[in-house]
Amino acid sequence: MNKQSLRDIKREATTKALASTAFELAVERGLDGFIIDDLVQRAGYSRKTFANHFSCKEEAIAMAAILTTDNHEDQPLNEVMQENILPLDALYRLIKRSLTAEYVSKMRQLVSLSKQYPTLEPYLLSVLSRLQATAQETLTDLSQGRYPKGYAHLLSGAVYGAVLAIFDGSINVLLPGQSTTDFPGEMTLDQYLDDMFSYLRTGF
């Protein structure tokens, strides 16, 4: 694996700082409660630097969620996948790895914000599309032509459709760190994922 240059590392750090600040301000004040000048002042960058990274504050807000899912340098994806693993098992590992408490919490906030501010919706859809596309690419690479065309799209679409229900509040689950004692009767995220994949393995 090629090491990143210092320039790339600094650019990623700047992107993350701007995105995190945009997300924080959106949660604190709503999209109408701040402008880009407020964002760059809090983050400690110039407006020109912001323009070099993002087209608008909505894009920066959504990027905060994407960056949450990309933070797996400590365990590369190929280390959690076995050779000849079944696509469904591979997708299960990918989902379990991606749906951290931090990511689910941010996605719930992002969905909630998009309901209040329609200008955020296209960027939310972009985040969801990227998440599903990553799964499709992973399954396609692992299957090495052993499954029909469209199989990876169908499987990842079914799974991420169910995951969306967690993000938009259609289904409430407890995140890691939340206790069933405090929320009696609620299923945990792990229980929901296990049930979902059980249906996919055995049929509905």
The closest alpha carbon to 100, from 163, 162, 23, belongs to: 163
pLDDT of residue 120: 96
pLDDT tens by residue, 40-86: 999 999 999 999 999 999 999 999 988 886 554 444 445 445 567 78
Question: pLDDT grade, residue 2 (50/70/90)?
Answer: low
Report domain extents, the chain: 1-71, 74-204
| Mean residue pLDDT across the chain | 86
pLDDT tens by residue, 115-146: 999 999 999 999 888 888 888 888 887 777 78
Element (H, E) at 169: none
pLDDT of residue 145: 77
Considering the entire predicted model, what is its pTM? 0.83
pLDDT of residue 83: 62
Output DSSP code: residue 102: H
Listed in sequence order, the residues at least 6 apart from 128 whose beta carbon sits closer than 8 Å to its beta carbon are 160, 164
CA-derived radius of gyration, the chain:
19
Selected residue with higher pLDDT from 92 and 71? 92
Cα→Cα distances 137→67, 121, 199, Å: 18, 24, 23
How far is the C-alpha of 177 from the C-alpha of 90, rounded, in Å? 25
Return the minimum-mean-pLDDT range out of 4-8, 30-34, 142-146: 142-146
Q: Is the pLDDT of residue 4 over 80?
A: no
Q: Which amino acid is at 152?
A: A
* Section 150-157 average pLDDT: 85
The strand pairing partners of 174, in sequence order, are: 188
How many CB atoms are closer than 10 A to CB 172? 12
Three-class SS state of 85: coil
* Section 101-112 average pLDDT: 92
Residue with tokens 């990227």: 130
Return the minimum-mean-pLDDT range out of 22-31, 47-56, 102-111: 102-111
Q: Is the pLDDT of residue 29 over 90?
A: yes
How far is the C-alpha of 103 from the C-alpha of 81, rounded, in Å? 21
pLDDT of residue 80: 46
How many CB atoms are closer than 10 A to CB 77? 14
Portion of the chain with pLDDT greater than 90, in percent: 44
Residue with tokens 């996948």: 81
Q: What is the CATH number of domain 1-71?
A: 1.10.357.10
Output DSSP code: residue 120: G
Burial class (CB in 10 A: 0-12, 13-18, 19+), 150: exposed
Q: Angle 77-78-81 (CA atoms, 0-180°, nearest 5)?
A: 95
* Section 102-106 average pLDDT: 90
Question: pLDDT grade, residue 20 (50/70/90)?
Answer: very high
The closest alpha carbon to 90, from 143, 130, 127, 166, belongs to: 143
